[in-house]
Structure 1
Amino acid sequence: MSSTYNILMYSHDTYGLGHIRRTMAIAKNLSAPGVSVLILTGSPIAGRFSIPYGVDFVRIPGMIKQSNTVYVPHSIKVNPQKALEIRQEIITATAKSFDPDLFIVDKVPVGLKGEVLPVLQWFKTSRPDTKVVLGLRDILDDSASTRAEWNDKNYFNVLDDLYSEIWIYGQEDFYNPIVEYGLPASISDKCIFTGYIPRQTPNRKITLKHLINGNGNGNSSSDNSKLIVVTAGGGGDGYHMLDTYLSMVEQTPDIPFKTYMVSGPFVPQDLQDSLAKRAKKAGVIFATFHKRLEKIMAAADLVVSMGGYNTVCEILSLKKPSLIIPRESPRLEQLIRARVLQSANLADYIKWDCLTASTLHEKILSMLEDSSEYEQSINEFSMTGFDVIRDRLSSFKGESVDA
């Protein structure tokens, strides 16, 4: 083992921004004097993020999910099996060379197509003192689908045999995957609910004027104008929401608020070009990506999103009212989360198949006029993720943890 405390993190990143954003946030929190964090990631845009001192990443070839079982290379011109072999070789070689004290796997217990399994088995046989942790977002999918997938892929045996702990990045009283997914006692005993993972917030108050200097949509150039921030996360599955939002703006003369739209970098290029052209004509500020999205959200009076885990964490960290438009395919995760958050008065939502320009306009105006029913709940909501994770790290390192 190294003289530093080495943490290796794995994020398969076949789709969207969620996994790498969560991994980067946790890595930044774990970074400290005497601690080195190395991230294994397939994200094609990992280098666009600000990497804190003490953290670095190894880029493995990216893969794109074409269906629940088919993955193809993102860029390199090799057959899918060869790409997976390259990924596995890089992962295995990096793990053995870095020789971590702690290995954190994001979401998929065996990695993409089982690529992490050899490393997990190596830790068990050759480095039994290494702590191996699976990190799970609060909601994966509906109960029946998740149970079927985990049984089919033998995840229960893997978790029982090869993992030290399971960190659930959510609240037990909101949604309990131990119950919903039928985790046996041998696995549930390893589960720790961390609470939601908070995000960095700007040190100073960000205003509309700071962002767009009065050049948003609407007629008013006053700094008192309301601002809606629209984000589709990675954007690969968010076109319906973005298209409907722009239709709402286009159909509403003298709309009484301004808009900053971040489509996400994975919107297909032809659709991205169309959205950008329409946004410019409608007076909507448009960007495909922003590495510090929290700065944009900090100026918002309302955030419209699809309700992905990481976007929700950013919104709640900034204590902003939000409207969620959750997709329902290929997973029900976002819809379940939207319902959970609505029941806790932390957000509101419109079902994907109920989204129209008129329903969106009506809901936004209502929330802008009075969001008091959400504000108290949001202000009282505690995000304990980093506190619990730091306590676990201190325990692993043999340090005393204050009660």
Structure 2
Amino acid sequence: MSGAPSFNILMYSHDTYGLGHIRRTMAIAEQLREYDTNILILTGSPIAGRLNFPKHVDYVRVPGMIKKANDEYFPLTIRIDARQAMEIRQSIIMATVTTFLPDLFIVDKEPQGLKREVMPALEWIKENLVQTKTILGLRDIMDDARLVIEDWKEKDVYSTISELYDEVWVYGEEEIYNPVLEYDIPRTVQDKLHYTGYIHRRVPETHQVEELRLGLNIMKNEQVVTVTTGGGGDGFLVLDSYLTMLEKMKAEMILPPFQSILVTGPFLSKDEKEVILERSQELGVHAYEFFSNMETLISASDMVVCMGGYNTMCETLSLNTMSLVIPRETPRKEQYIRAKAFNQQNLVEFIKWDQVDASTLKEKIMWMLEHKEKYMDAMDRFEMNGISNICRRIFKHRDDKNGIFE
């Protein structure tokens, strides 16, 4: 290590449900750890302990919460009052900020945190850590524009960003989706905004992919379709439709020209998970609740059938693996908007949620496997500069702190 003082980065990921926020945060943290930094992640993810945290990266777990309805949140596992749980979370966040003393505080997606839990920390930093930079990280698409504008105006989010954040990083490309126009972002916030580009994922070594395929008894030239629904909480329709497709092919004595691998996600309900695993076993299909190294699995696949969350899209594009997207449209339209935008670039194909069935799936999958070049060419042209641009911003802040100027 160099003799320069360490640079402390604190990353907040509220993680009420699903895998999206913690996986995006981990992807960024993994790339930054090689430099002279300490990274601490604040997360409410119930699966944080199942993730592989690299050297110089650690996490602080706050009580998990789950959204029931109308912006109401309740403890995910512990049997205490929701207000108590939120007070514990806020206390842990404040204690971490005031002891870790971050040089950079990156807040993922929620400018005020869950139920405004990050506000006291942001205000304390502004008053007491004048050299600390506060960063709001936003995925490419949040939701339907009208709903985002209404929500941000009601919660006074525009003022929060203007007054308490130094920069806003959009993990996307302005040409694909322009949040300034879509979300009516005022000039005071526009001046803080930086498009980083999409976040590239780690590309596994060839031998790692070969070893995984061998372990799954996949022949060298055999095609593989992987089905993943992220956290899985709302993914039963996708998994069920895919298995129905395979069951109909079996009944018609049609041998699929590919092997199938299913990853249900840890948040699929127990009853639904049992159904999926039992049907998969009857079909001789590999099925998992959780796969710790999704990058290698996706790289070993010829196609991924998924729901179109930000992280899955970044993984398939980073690994040049075709994807057939079945985007959910409730409670947010983010996945559907992204699927349409990427489809216009020939990066993905998609089926609307209310139009998915076994026949449509079969038709789309077979067509895509026979026309790979269309998607491979588009993915080859698609640049993913998110990590390099994020590193460039962080280096600037680190050098400013250490008095190094170009």
With normalisation by structure 1, the TM-score equals 0.95
2:231 alignment counterpart? 234
SS at 2:131 equivalent: coil
Q: Which runs of 5+ in 1 are unaligned?
A: 215-221
RMSD: 1.4
Letter in 1 for 2:381: E
**Residue 213 of structure 1 is aligned with which of 213, 217, 232?**
217
Letter in 1 for 2:216: I
1:395 alignment counterpart? 396
Pairs within 5 Å for 1:367-382: 367-382=368-383
**Residue 12 of structure 1 is aligned with which of 5, 14, 36?**
14
Q: Give the superposition deviation at 1:171.
A: 0.4
Letter in 1 for 2:43: T
SS at 1:326 equivalent: coil
SS at 1:105 equivalent: strand
Do the aligned partners of 1:11 and 1:39 also contact (CA within 8 Å) in 2? yes
Relative to structure 1, the CA distance from residue 309 to residue 394 in structure 2 (aligned partners, 3 Å threshold; closer, same or farther) is same
**Residue 159 of structure 1 is aligned with which of 158, 161, 180?**
161
**Residue 112 of structure 1 is aligned with which of 99, 111, 114?**
114
Q: Give the superposition deviation at 1:394.
A: 1.1
Q: How many residues are matched?
A: 394
Q: Give the superposition deviation at 1:211.
A: 4.0
Correspondence 1:97 to 2:99: yes
Letter in 1 for 2:249: T
Letter in 2 for 1:36: N
2:123 alignment counterpart? 121
Do the aligned partners of 1:326 and 1:351 also contact (CA within 8 Å) in 2? yes
Q: Cα deviations across residues 57-80 of structure 1 (Å, max 9, x unaligned)?
A: 000000011124111101111011
Correspondence 1:324 to 2:314: no
Letter in 2 for 1:118: P
Task: Tell me the distance in 1 between the aligned counterparts of 2:235 and 2:130.
Answer: 43
1:88 alignment counterpart? 90
Task: Tell me the distance in 1 between the aligned counterparts of 2:221 and 2:371.
Answer: 16
Q: Which runs of 5+ in 2 are unaligned?
A: none
1:348 alignment counterpart? 349
Q: Cα deviations across residues 361-386 of structure 1 (Å, max 9, x unaligned)?
A: 00000001112111111011110001
2:299 alignment counterpart? 298
Task: Tell me the distance in 2 between the aligned counterparts of 1:387 and 1:25.
Answer: 12
Q: Give the superposition deviation at 1:128.
A: 1.8
Letter in 2 for 1:135: G
Task: Tell me the distance in 1 between the aligned counterparts of 2:148 and 2:214.
Answer: 44
Q: Cα deviations across residues 271-309 of structure 1 (Å, max 9, x unaligned)?
A: 111110011101110001111111111111111100000
Pairs within 5 Å for 1:52-201: 52-201=54-203
Q: Cα deviations across residues 62-107 of structure 1 (Å, max 9, x unaligned)?
A: 0011124111101111011110000000000011000000000000
1:333 alignment counterpart? 334
Q: Give the superposition deviation at 1:210.
A: 2.0
1:38 alignment counterpart? 40
SS at 1:337 equivalent: helix
1:217 alignment counterpart? none
Q: Give the superposition deviation at 1:401.
A: 9.1
Q: Cα deviations across residues 173-226 of structure 1 (Å, max 9, x unaligned)?
A: 000111100000110110000000011111115247424114xxxxxxx43221
The range that moved more, 319-328 or 222-231, is 222-231
Relative to structure 1, the CA distance from residue 90 to residue 384 in structure 2 (aligned partners, 3 Å threshold; closer, same or farther) is same
Q: Cα deviations across residues 232-262 of structure 1 (Å, max 9, x unaligned)?
A: 0000011111111111111112222110110
1:288 alignment counterpart? 289
Do the aligned partners of 1:391 and 1:401 also contact (CA within 8 Å) in 2? no
SS at 2:206 equivalent: coil
Q: Cα deviations across residues 300-326 of structure 1 (Å, max 9, x unaligned)?
A: 111110000000000001011110000
Do the aligned partners of 1:35 and 1:54 also contact (CA within 8 Å) in 2? yes
Letter in 2 for 1:212: L
Letter in 1 for 2:262: M
Do the aligned partners of 2:399 and 2:405 also contact (CA within 8 Å) in 1? no
Letter in 2 for 1:374: Y
Do the aligned partners of 1:394 and 1:401 also contact (CA within 8 Å) in 2? no
SS at 1:322 equivalent: strand
Task: Tell me the distance in 2 between the aligned counterparts of 1:372 and 1:307.
Answer: 21
Q: Cα deviations across residues 24-71 of structure 1 (Å, max 9, x unaligned)?
A: 111111213431000000001011111110100000000011124111
Do the aligned partners of 2:280 and 2:287 also contact (CA within 8 Å) in 1? yes
Relative to structure 1, the CA distance from residue 211 to residue 378 in structure 2 (aligned partners, 3 Å threshold; closer, same or farther) is farther
Correspondence 1:385 to 2:386: yes
Task: Tell me the distance in 2 between the aligned counterparts of 1:229 and 1:293.
Answer: 10
Do the aligned partners of 2:10 and 2:105 also contact (CA within 8 Å) in 1? yes
Task: Tell me the distance in 1 between the aligned counterparts of 2:20 and 2:356.
Answer: 23
Letter in 1 for 2:183: Y
Identity %: 48
Structure 1 residue ranges, 4+ long, deviating more than 4 angstroms after superposition? 399-402
